[in-house]
Every structure is written in structure tokens, then in C-alpha cells.
Amino acid sequence: MSDASHEEQSSLVTSPKDTDSEPIKGKKIFFASTGNEETFIDHDCTLDDEGYPLYPNCRTIFVKTPEMTIQNFGLVGFPKTSNVEWQANKSWKMTQIFCLGAMLCRIPSAPAQLGNALEKWHTRHARTLYTITWFDKNQQTKWAILRHHGTHNHPWPAPKKPDPLSKLKLKREVMKNPSAGAFKLKLGKPTAPLNPFESVTKIHEAFVNSDCLQYHRCRILTDLGINPEKVAAGLGDKFLHDMFQWNQ
């Protein structure tokens, strides 16, 4: 699909009419898709590099046509619970996602990391009772749609794990230099003598953690048929132990 047609699919249209902000439990929010919906990116969404609303908000709609490749489609970035339903003939898969909210610090100037005792008294849970993300996917045609209802009245929590698009970007960097360990990947390399250094930590904040980065690097090399031990001597048992911990 051309960039022009992709941009056309993602063009903004008039926002659907907002509904009352009331708890949605027990309410029928979305009905069967008509197939005539258009992509609409509402306020306060966070999009990935493919224009997909990984953090959808308000009355956002995202239509994925069969020819589009969207790595993160079907996922959201916030903590969640989900429920999957199928039509009787299995032609449509319907996924409901409910946001779990976020933990907020009561003290603006407090450090990022608090001990367990302090955390109990100085944090509060910002619940989200008014939002639902709904995915419909036609298993035969591969046409799919994301629809969102409600407003997240809290900051987006920091993601703990990289999304599929971020993993793909990391894979491309690892393929450029399979022998580069976590330190070199974090340090980055200049694309030209006068250019700034590029670091994989810019891809996703989870890659700031060396153990996490090393784990994903090892998986990428294994998928490529490369033995990580042969291209990164000295990792040994510690790295294998860390790898299994990250997989839990």
C-alpha cells in the first residue's frame, strides 16, 4: 500500500458525537460494524510510527484494510483486562479491552522509585470506569477496526515491555551488527562522522534496561539462526539466567 493511500486512510474526519461519561459496565456500547467507518484520531491519543493509536482515547476509530500492515494492531499500550468473543461461524473475532488505570504519586516532587512502605502511603490508583477499546476482525477478509469509547483521566503509565513494532525496529538494528552487545546497542553509532549517535534506547524506553535489551537481542539472534554465545563471548550462565527471568 502506498504512503499516499495510507495517509488517506488515516485522514481525520468529523468526530462522532460524544456520549455521556458514565460507567460502561453492563451497557451495550458498540454494535456490529457497518464496514463504512473511517479512521478518526481523537484528542489525547499516542500514535506509533505507523500512525496506529497504541494509546487510544475518546472517540477514536482506526480502520485496518486487508492490504495494510500495522505491527501493533490489536494491541494497546496501557495495563488492561480483555475478553474475546466469536460469532457462531467464527467469521468475526471481537475483543474487548478495559483499562486498569494508573498508579499516581501524591507528592509531585517525590523520586521515581519509592520503597514499599512509602509507596503504600504516597500513591493512589486512578481508576478508569468509563473506557472500552473494541476490536472487530473479519477472519476471512482480514478487514478490521478499532473503536474506542470514553476518556482516560490519567497519565499514560510507562510501558514495561516493548511492543511488536519496537521489537521489529530492534531486530533491524541487531541485524546490522550481530556482534554488538547491549552496551554497544545502547551507545549507538554515528551514521556519518558528523551525525549524532543513534541508540536503540530511542526505540523504546524498555531498552534502557540492559538485561531486557540483552534478552530481546538473544531472542532475535536465535530466530536468525545465530548462536548468541558465539557472537557475544563472556555472557555465560548469568545471561541465560537473566534471559529466563525476563521470559517469566
6 has pLDDT over 50? no
* C-alpha grid cell, residue 52: 496506529
- Whole-number Å distance between alpha carbons of 74 and 39: 15
Q: What is the pLDDT of residues 130-184, one digit of tens each?
A: 899 999 999 999 999 999 999 998 889 888 899 999 999 999 999 988 888 888 8
H-helix or E-strand spanning residue 231: helix 228-231
Q: What is the pLDDT of residues 197-209, one digit of tens each?
A: 678 999 999 999 9
The pTM score is 0.74
Which amino acid, one-letter code, is at 6?
H
Determine the pLDDT at residue 84.
Answer: 95
* C-alpha grid cell, residue 73: 494492531
- Whole-number Å distance between alpha carbons of 38 and 20: 22
Averaged over 35-44, what is the pLDDT? 94
Confirm if 44 and 78 have CB atoms less than 8 A apart.
no
Determine the pLDDT at residue 227.
Answer: 82
Instruction: Give percent above pLDDT 90 in the chain.
Output: 50
Q: What is the pLDDT of residues 186-240, one digit of tens each?
A: 988 665 566 556 789 999 999 999 999 999 999 999 999 988 776 654 444 455 4
- Give the chain's mean pLDDT: 79
- Whole-number Å distance between alpha carbons of 15 and 12: 8
**93: helix, coil or strand?**
strand
Confirm if 142 and 136 have CB atoms less than 8 A apart.
no
- Whole-number Å distance between alpha carbons of 166 and 241: 24
- Torsion sign over Cα 182, 185, 188, 189: positive
Which amino acid, one-letter code, is at 147?
R
Count of CB atoms within 10 A of residue 181's CB? 20
Determine the pLDDT at residue 215.
Answer: 94
